[in-house]
Amino acid sequence: MNTGQLFIAGSWRPPVSGATYVTIKTVVRVVGSAGIWLYDVQNPTADSLTQAEIQNASNLFDAKIYASDTLQFGHPSDIDNNSHVFIALTWQVNKAAANLAGFVFGGDLFPGPSCPQSNAGELYYGEAPDSLNQAGTGARRKSGVVSGMPQLIAHEFTHIVQFSQRLILNNGQMLESWEAEGQATFAEELVGNAVLGNTSYQNYDHHVAFGPAGFNWYEDEMIK
């Protein structure tokens, strides 16, 4: 597999001059039709993600998440000319905060001279399993990482589309934070519908939202 280096910086907000970053080395684990999945070579090895688990996540991203988000909100930019979104799974996300599971960084769409932290492409950064708490922010079991990843990517990929549409492809005006978060939360419902075969405006009972299959997809709209 090919390897490369990435910068990890900040959060999804626009870049701040002088902000610091961490450089990581990654290996390509899966190339899907829409996503390229990168794995930090320094990730904890105890109970780490298998090739099959990453492949399953890639399949879901290509068929449901990317398809649903782009149909509703438009397509991302492609400033690195590779026709893919990078999904980097790294324990550097774990190290950042105990409650942080993933993020995107608006600065990645800025050129390097104006934003030294930029990776000059469309990227999502996600947590890695860390059952022994090597990152020091709390143990993260693989089961939790795997179950939470689709909902989180559905949400955060919407921010990539928002950045792309507003900063690169159109008028340069970013959404207000409440608009951006509202759209990204709505994306969770849309992808959940696609995964579970549900549709809008139906008289479903509470099991749709609070049953084991639907809870991860609909919880943000129901209880937060």
Tell me: the pLDDT tens digits for 14-50?
444 446 788 999 999 999 999 999 999 999 999 999 9
Residue 13 confidence class, pLDDT cut points 50, 70, 90? very low
Element (H, E) at 25: strand 22-31
In whole angstroms, give the CA distance from residue 152 to residue 186: 12
Which residues have a Cβ under 8 Å from the Cβ of 82 and sit 6 or more positions away? 36, 121
> Looking at the predicted structure, is the pLDDT value of residue 2 above 60?
no
For residue 167, what pLDDT band results from cuts at 50, 70 and 90? confident
Residue 137's alpha-carbon distances to 16, 133, 177, in angstroms, are 25, 7, 27
| DSSP-assigned letter for residue 62 | I
* Residue that wins the pLDDT comparison between 170 and 34: 34
Burial class of 116 by CB neighbour count within 10 A (0 to 12, 13 to 18, 19+): middle
> What pTM did the predictor assign?
0.88
Please give the backbone phi and psi of residue 30, each rounded to the nearest 5 degrees, phi first: -145, 140
